Structure 1
């Protein structure tokens, strides 16, 4: 099972590492001594906890697929433009 450090988890979630550190008490994680790590399941739960589902507008009218996954799960984020 892959374990992520703060920096690796922040990169996977596309958030600042400081955000993870500030909110660690409310986020799923593992802690052994002072070492904090995140599993793939932890990252998925964090993503679900902070997922927003619109209550109005065209996406609110779309019914959820039978599999229970998000209707836009096939979309992938664009690459970062910071290097350009």
Structure 2
């Protein structure tokens, strides 16, 4: 079975983005290149879609539970030791 190869226009249509966006961001996107010919496979398109997928952080569909009310969202972070403490060690 052969792998389907999409050119820029076909890939843009499948991803529902502008072809111009694909061309501008090609260095950060998975693709195949032979000479000047750039193609995308179904796996490349799936990876591009996953790269730009976002999950909600609040509300009933949030993957990570929101912090308790009144708790600071960065309360779990601890400060680094002072520089003086590092030199004496």
TM-score, structure 1 normalization: 0.71
Number of aligned residue pairs: give it: 62
Normalised to the residue count of structure 2, the TM-score between the two structures is: 0.67
For structure 2, list consecutive stretches of 5 or more residues without a partner in the other structure: 65-89
Counterpart mapping for 1:1-84 below 5 A = 1-60=3-62
Runs of 4 or more, structure 1, over 2 Å off, are none
* Structure with the greater alpha carbon radius of gyration: 2
Q: Distance in 2 between matches of 1:34 and 1:40?
A: 20
Root mean square deviation, CA, Å: 1.3
Do the aligned partners of 2:56 and 2:63 also contact (CA within 8 Å) in 1? Answer: no
